[in-house]
Chain A
């Protein structure tokens, strides 16, 4: 094993890491924006409204991400109308094609996760909101979505790591992400084992960071689960209500 290449080429790998993070961040954001309405449509009572997101999700979850990237990057150029439209300057760049493909892909997976979370919200909470006279949009904004986000978070963390691993596919359409940079370095140095080990460790480091960040957000969003009532010790025992007393004894 030889490691002298590392001193010369590590900036390219770091640039690659930036590209990878950028891809994940942007497509994660766009994917989330797409996923929420898809998930809400999936939980609709009308079968027609449910059918459209179902078809979309089925297609994107049932086909390889590589094919989806190729369909957008190579496939769209087949159509004269696309090549002459004002969108072409965007659609001919690998960067935006990768982002579009990742966004559409992660939107399908996240929509399923959010749908599961919405259906896991205890019915009583939604009924309570209705009983208070909330309109449907208000209920979705104030009760359904905040609750669903808290429930979906651990699963979404996993989805983000799958997305990180999927982002390596951007290198197949000439993007210089970590994998792309690694391949470019190998073409110069002919040390595939060493370069791939370093690239793999970089992916590992990123996913460990993701896991850590998600633990923190999870704690914050679901803080009601770990919240402890602090009761002053000198409080008049007669004022203590039984419920709080019970909590107090436990801690």
Chain B
């Protein structure tokens, strides 16, 4: 396949796509954990808020979320800035808007995955940690989180694949990711099929790598696979 010297564009784009996916993953995982904590808390408004968040976000197209945060966020920031007497045009960075949108979407699904994993964990795990005199946060970090992580990993792996594919949407608001770079190469070479196919194959490679990585993490997080007796 002849890329006519535009290969480096695709490499740059791939790197942006990987960064976007990984940053959104980290932010999304934090949102997911907070959401699951809210859903399981004794405080009713927190539960309502978390339920509203997951229901709303899971019913709205990711593209709409990206567009809404990019354009809507610009307007919102400008109106906030004008309160402080700053009237210049502000534009949100496409990468930041992309991370926000993807993390919010990922977080909604991750909330459900974490919640299911925490419910699945026997109550005795909490109680025995308390009986040993551990505080609540300490119990959560030392006892609960490692086990929830193991139960949630398969679900999170699937969500990461979805996230990886959704990064393509951020090209719509001008982020120079893989799709946009392929599009730009297309403009000057008039070979759209070649470049979009190469981009598709790169995505395929990335999803393949992510399956390998989650498979490895699932084995690593499972003590019985390492021959440790539990």
Which A residues form the contact surface with B (CB < 8 A)? 58-59, 62-68, 70-71, 74-79, 161, 164-169, 171-172, 179, 182-183, 186, 190-193, 196-197, 199-200, 203-204, 207-208
Residues in A neighbouring B171, C-beta threshold 8 A: 66
Which B residues form the contact surface with A (CB < 8 A)? 56, 58-64, 67-68, 71-72, 74-76, 161, 165-169, 171-172, 179, 182-183, 186, 190-194, 196-197, 199-200, 203-204, 207-208
Docked-complex contact B204 and A200, CB < 8 angstroms = no
Docked-complex contact A67 and B72, CB < 8 angstroms = no
Docked-complex contact A75 and B197, CB < 8 angstroms = yes
Supposing A71-B193, A71-B197 touch, asked if A208 and B59 sit within 8 A by C-beta, the answer is: yes
Docked-complex contact B64 and A63, CB < 8 angstroms = no
Q: Can you list 13 pairs linking A and B with CB atoms under 8 Å apart?
A: A59-B200, A63-B165, A64-B200, A65-B168, A67-B179, A70-B192, A71-B197, A165-B63, A168-B62, A168-B63, A182-B67, A200-B64, A203-B64
Query: How far, in angstroms, from A58 to B72 measured CA to CA in the complex?
Result: 36
Question: In whole Å, how far is A163's beta carbon from the nearest beta carbon of chain B?
Answer: 10
User: What secondary structure prevails in chain A residues at the interface with B?
Assistant: helix
Docked-complex contact B203 and A67, CB < 8 angstroms = yes
Docked-complex contact B193 and A179, CB < 8 angstroms = no
Docked-complex contact B169 and A192, CB < 8 angstroms = no
Residues in B neighbouring A59, C-beta threshold 8 A: 200, 204
Question: In whole Å, how far is B77's beta carbon from the nearest beta carbon of chain A?
Answer: 11
Residues in A neighbouring B200, C-beta threshold 8 A: 59, 63-64, 67-68, 71
Which residue of the partner chain A has the closest CB to B166? A64
Query: How far, in angstroms, from A65 to B63 measured CA to CA in the complex?
Result: 11
Residues in A neighbouring B192, C-beta threshold 8 A: 70-71, 74-75, 77-78
Besides A66-B171, A71-B196, A183-B67, 13 other A-B contacts (C-beta < 8 A) = A66-B168, A66-B172, A70-B196, A71-B192, A75-B196, A75-B197, A78-B190, A78-B193, A168-B63, A169-B61, A191-B75, A196-B68, A200-B68
Question: In whole Å, how far is B87's beta carbon from the nearest beta carbon of chain A?
Answer: 16
Docked-complex contact A193 and B72, CB < 8 angstroms = yes
Question: In whole Å, how far is B141's beta carbon from the nearest beta carbon of chain A?
Answer: 33
Query: How far, in angstroms, from A75 to B72 measured CA to CA in the complex?
Result: 32
Docked-complex contact A75 and B60, CB < 8 angstroms = no
Query: How far, in angstroms, from A66 to B183 measured CA to CA in the complex?
Result: 12
Docked-complex contact B61 and A167, CB < 8 angstroms = yes
Docked-complex contact A62 and B208, CB < 8 angstroms = yes
> Which 9 pairs from chain A and chain B are nearest by CB?
A168-B61, A75-B193, A64-B168, A192-B71, A74-B192, A196-B68, A165-B61, A78-B193, A64-B165
Query: How far, in angstroms, from A77 to B195 measured CA to CA in the complex?
Result: 13
Which residue of the partner chain B has the closest CB to A70? B196
Residues in B neighbouring A62, C-beta threshold 8 A: 161, 165, 203-204, 207-208
Query: How far, in angstroms, from A65 to B196 measured CA to CA in the complex?
Result: 12
Docked-complex contact A78 and B191, CB < 8 angstroms = yes
Residues in B neighbouring A71, C-beta threshold 8 A: 192-193, 196-197, 200
Which residue of the partner chain B has the closest CB to A165? B61
Docked-complex contact A64 and B203, CB < 8 angstroms = yes
Which residue of the partner chain A has the closest CB to B63? A168
Docked-complex contact B67 and A74, CB < 8 angstroms = no
Residues in B neighbouring A200, C-beta threshold 8 A: 56, 60, 64, 68
Which residue of the partner chain A has the closest CB to B65? A200
Which residue of the partner chain A has the closest CB to B207? A62
Docked-complex contact B183 and A169, CB < 8 angstroms = no
Question: In whole Å, how far is A19's beta carbon from the nearest beta carbon of chain B?
Answer: 14
Query: How far, in angstroms, from A171 to B67 measured CA to CA in the complex?
Result: 12
Residues in A neighbouring B203, C-beta threshold 8 A: 62-64, 67
Query: How far, in angstroms, from A68 to B171 measured CA to CA in the complex?
Result: 14
Residues in B neighbouring A65, C-beta threshold 8 A: 165, 168
Contact of A161 among B59, B197, B204 (CB under 8 A): B59
Docked-complex contact A67 and B186, CB < 8 angstroms = no
Which residue of the partner chain B has the closest CB to A158? B58
Residues in A neighbouring B197, C-beta threshold 8 A: 71, 75
Residues in A neighbouring B190, C-beta threshold 8 A: 78
Residues in B neighbouring A182, C-beta threshold 8 A: 64, 67
Residues in A neighbouring B71, C-beta threshold 8 A: 186, 192, 196
Docked-complex contact A169 and B63, CB < 8 angstroms = yes
Residues in A neighbouring B208, C-beta threshold 8 A: 62
